[in-house]
């Protein structure tokens, strides 16, 4: 079959609202940002966590992250198949759940500490230094493997963020 780029749906509000999986994987619309959708999705994650975390126990927060990841993998699988793109930048729910994980393990924390975590996470997610770059390449493609791959590098970026913060606390 000849590839025709016109077969790829436009990533817009119509696409966002055309299936619940699109709405979720595109970060409830934050993935539609024309500039830095991953950063916009991470900002949304930060604000939403601040609103949620005081209303849930620590265990409920962890369960929310697990469920959001499972639902996110399902939604990423469907969205990538509908788009015909293995890892589109508009999928930002992976940034949301990964940054929720950072905040879950970090809170309570000062605004400055949260800001440092945000900046470190964005650095690791955008620049993809080792091991994040490696993690970004491990599970490429479509289907469940590709959907997990979308999330895997973000969880590695979250781990790196927490590791650097722990080192910083230990050193300073």
Of the pLDDT bands very low, low, confident and very high (cuts 50, 70, 90), residue 172 is: confident
pTM (2 d.p.): 0.93
What does the alpha-carbon distance between residue 85 and residue 45 come to, in Å, rounded to a whole number? 24
pLDDT (tens digit, 9 = 90+) per residue, 100-119? Answer: 999 999 999 999 999 999 99
CA atoms of 157 and 90, how far apart (whole Å): 18
Q: How confident is the model at residue 8, as a pLDDT?
A: 56
Taking a C-beta distance cutoff of 8 angstroms, is the pair 94, 86 a contact? Answer: no
Burial class (CB in 10 A: 0-12, 13-18, 19+), 7: exposed
> What letters, b where the CB count within 10 A reaches 16 and e where it falls short, cover 133-143?
eebbeebeebe
């Amino acid at each position: 079959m000849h590839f025709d780029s016109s077969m790829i749906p436009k990533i817009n509000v119509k696409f966002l609202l055309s299936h619940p999986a699109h709405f979720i994987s595109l970060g409830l619309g934050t993935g539609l940002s024309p500039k830095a959708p991953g950063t916009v999705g991470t900002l949304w994650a930060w604000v939403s966590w601040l609103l949620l975390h005081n209303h849930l126990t620590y265990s409920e927060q962890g369960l929310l992250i697990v469920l959001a990841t499972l639902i996110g993998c399902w939604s990423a699988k469907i969205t990538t198949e509908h788009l015909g793109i293995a890892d589109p930048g508009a999928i930002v729910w992976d940034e949301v759940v990964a940054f929720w994980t950072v905040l879950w393990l970090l809170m309570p924390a000062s605004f400055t500490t949260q800001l440092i975590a945000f900046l470190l996470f964005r650095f690791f997610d955008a620049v993809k230094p080792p091991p994040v770059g490696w993690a970004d390449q491990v599970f490429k493609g479509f289907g469940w493997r590709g959907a997990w791959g979308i999330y895997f590098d973000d969880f590695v970026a979250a781990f790196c963020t927490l590791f650097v913060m722990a080192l910083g606390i230990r050193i300073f």
